[in-house]
Structure 1
Amino acid sequence: MSDFLLKRLIPLLIGFVVWGLAVALQVRADLGLSPWDVFHQGLGNHLGIGIGWAGLVTSVGVLLLWIPLKMKPHVGTVLNALVIGPSAEFFLTVIDAPENIVLRWAFMLGGILLMAVGSALYLPARLGTGPRDGVMVGLNRKFEFSIRLSRTIVEAAALIVGYLLGGTVGLGTILIALGLGPTVQACLQARRHLAERLTGQPQSVL
């Protein structure tokens, strides 16, 4: 049990909190958000709630799509829904929006880096996909779409609807789309190398 907590559950929770911090930084940067956060912000504007709470509402709604896709949630799925949104809301209460454009870009780039760090913490835990990634996997399994196509469909839909709802789309949105994947990969590799040094044993990336 202690091994499960230390190596899987605690890194998972820390990763989700770090991701929430990343979302808060990008909101305060006001230079564009990730596709799903564009949707969360737009939805929140219409519901009169913050982006984090809108993310929580979205997670519950998206989980309903798992039923026809025959996907089953795991502990990581539930914690993803419950932790990231409230974490973002907490950090938004303590982080003010910078006026200086250099600081705004620092917030944006720092947010991308923290998203990658958060991913490198929770992905190796293998405790279930997040609600949104589950839809991507479900489309892949049910309709035999490639993962790339499934992800493109899901994120494009979130981006378009979010934009129509008034979510923030900008240069930062493009930067996240192009830069997050490689940054996540680099952080996963860094985590693997660190684990190998500490344990003296080969480690897998995921």
Structure 2
Amino acid sequence: MTAIDLRPVRVSVSPARRLTQLMGGLALYGTSMAMMTRAGLGLSPWDVLHEGLAARTGLSFGTVVAIASVGVLALWIPLRQRPGLGTVMNVLVISVTVDLVRAVLPDQHALGWQIALLLGGVVLNAMATAVYVGARLGPGPRDGLMTGLAARNTWSVRTVRTCIELAVLAAGWFLGGTVGAGTVLYALAIGPLTQALLPHVTWRESC
């Protein structure tokens, strides 16, 4: 996956349209996370960590997502990363949405439904990522950590992302998070899918 510019910029469309796109993308992202957790076939690396922490603490999945996001934002300070509106809304909207959807979507045990939820969740996650990143109102906490580290090292964004996700995956697995076929599928598919969708939903910088 090639590097994506996540910085907030001035564009020629109204703030209301960009904010609507941002909020919609974040809500879809939270929904996709809930779908994959209910599929039970493996999660994205960060969600393996979130699930493991939720299991150990007794907190809701969304609450753990919010707490982890704030912790990641603290790591921005030495990197001198600047949050945008999208950064703050990322923490709030995703954590609330994932808990709301999980409350009405039960765990699936029939393999057919599990596969459907997993595939739908991965595709929706890529779409949601493209939509909220395309609004260009600021990166999410984890995206900002990735780009901040890459900007201050000789490593590529891809290398930094891989190292971070391997670390959180290992920690999440140790804590009891679900690792499985869905984890592999997510790792292989999310980059190409997001990259393919991003040009269709990204607002261009105004002159």
For the criterion TM > 0.5, the same-fold answer is yes
- The ranges of structure 1 where at least 4 consecutive aligned residues each deviate by more than 4 angstroms after the TM superposition are 189-192
Aligned counterpart, 1:79: 89
**Aligned equivalents of 2:171, 2:87: Cα separation in 1:** 23
**Aligned equivalents of 1:37, 1:147: Cα separation in 2:** 20
- Are 2:14 and 1:3 aligned? yes
Q: Secondary structure at the match of 1:31?
A: coil
**Aligned equivalents of 2:67, 2:99: Cα separation in 1:** 13
**Aligned equivalents of 1:63, 1:191: Cα separation in 2:** 26
Query: Contact 1:41–1:50 at 8 Å: present in 2 too?
Result: no
Q: TM-score, structure 1 length as denominator?
A: 0.89
Q: Secondary structure at the match of 2:178?
A: coil
Q: Secondary structure at the match of 1:143?
A: coil
Which one of 152, 161, 169 corresponds to residue 171 of structure 2?
161
Query: Contact 1:41–1:168 at 8 Å: present in 2 too?
Result: yes
Highest relative contact order (Cα 8 Å, sep 6+), 1 or 2? Answer: 2
**Aligned equivalents of 1:154, 1:66: Cα separation in 2:** 14
Aligned counterpart, 2:197: 187
Aligned counterpart, 1:91: 101
Label 1:141 to 1:190 Cα distance change in 2 as closer, same or farther (>3 A): closer
Q: TM-score, structure 2 length as denominator?
A: 0.88
Aligned-residue offset at 1:77: 0.6
Query: Contact 1:112–1:176 at 8 Å: present in 2 too?
Result: yes
Alpha carbon RMSD of aligned pairs, Å? 1.9
Label 1:124 to 1:153 Cα distance change in 2 as closer, same or farther (>3 A): same
**Aligned equivalents of 1:83, 1:186: Cα separation in 2:** 25
Aligned counterpart, 2:158: 148
Aligned-residue offset at 1:118: 0.6
Q: Secondary structure at the match of 2:43?
A: coil
Query: Contact 2:40–2:108 at 8 Å: present in 1 too?
Result: no
**Aligned equivalents of 1:129, 1:141: Cα separation in 2:** 14
**Aligned equivalents of 1:58, 1:103: Cα separation in 2:** 29
Q: Which runs of 5+ in 1 are unaligned?
A: 196-202
Query: How many residue pairs are counted as aligned between the two chains?
Result: 194
Aligned runs of 1:125-136 on 2, under 5 Å?
125-136=135-146
**Aligned equivalents of 2:151, 2:14: Cα separation in 1:** 32
Query: Contact 1:62–1:131 at 8 Å: present in 2 too?
Result: yes
Aligned-residue offset at 1:129: 0.9
Aligned-residue offset at 1:186: 2.7
**Aligned equivalents of 1:2, 1:146: Cα separation in 2:** 32
Of all paired residues, the percent bearing the same amino acid is 43
Aligned counterpart, 1:63: 73
Which one of 10, 25, 31 corresponds to residue 15 of structure 1?
25
Aligned runs of 1:171-182 on 2, under 5 Å?
171-182=181-192
Which one of 93, 117, 121 corresponds to residue 127 of structure 2?
117
Aligned-residue offset at 1:99: 2.3
- Are 2:57 and 1:47 aligned? yes
Aligned counterpart, 1:105: 115
Aligned-residue offset at 1:167: 0.5
**Aligned equivalents of 2:76, 2:201: Cα separation in 1:** 31
Q: Which runs of 5+ in 2 are unaligned?
A: 1-11
Label 1:189 to 1:138 Cα distance change in 2 as closer, same or farther (>3 A): closer
